Amino acid sequence: MDYVVARIGRPHGIRGEVTVELRTDDPARRLAPGSTLRTDPAGAGPLTVTSLRDHQGTLLVGFAGHEDRSGAESLRNVLLLVGADEAEDEAEEDAWYPHQLAGLSAVDTAGRSLGTVRDLLTGSAQDLLVVRPGGGGDDVLVPFVRALVPEVDVAGGRVVLDPPGGLFPDPDPDGQPAAGEDA
* Residue-averaged pLDDT of the chain: 83
Looking at per-residue pLDDT, the higher value among 88 and 59 belongs to 59
For residue range 146-160, what is the model confidence (pLDDT) as tens digits? 889 999 998 899 999
What band does 82 get if pLDDT is binned at 50, 70 and 90? confident
Q: CATH fold of 98-161, please?
A: SH3 type barrels. (2.30.30)
Distance CA 87, CA 9 (A): 22
Nearest to 168 by CA among 103, 125, 112, 99: 112
Residue 66 has pLDDT above 90, yes or no: yes
Long-range contacts of 106-109 (CB under 8 A, 24+ apart): 106/131, 106/158, 106/159, 106/161, 107/158, 107/159, 107/160, 107/161, 107/178, 107/181, 108/160, 108/161, 108/162, 108/163, 108/171, 109/150, 109/160, 109/161, 109/162
The pLDDT score that the predictor gives to residue 91 is 46
**Hey, how many other C-beta atoms are within 10 angstroms of the C-beta on 59?**
19
* Residues near 7 by beta carbon (within 8 Å), at least 6 away in sequence: 20, 21, 23, 77, 78, 79, 80
The torsion of the CA quartet 134, 135, 139, 141, rounded to 10 degrees, works out to -60
What band does 97 get if pLDDT is binned at 50, 70 and 90? confident
The hierarchical CATH code for the domain 2-89 is 2.40.30.60
**Please, where are the H alpha helices in the chain?**
27-30, 69-73, 84-89, 98-101
Q: Where are the domains of the chain?
A: 2-89, 98-161
Q: % helix / strand / coil in the chain, to the nearest 5? A: 10, 40, 50
For residue range 99-146, what is the model confidence (pLDDT) as tens digits? 788 999 999 999 999 999 999 887 656 788 999 998 778 999 998 888
The pLDDT score that the predictor gives to residue 113 is 92
- Given the DSSP bridges, would you call strands 158-161 and 105-108 parallel, antiparallel or unpaired? parallel
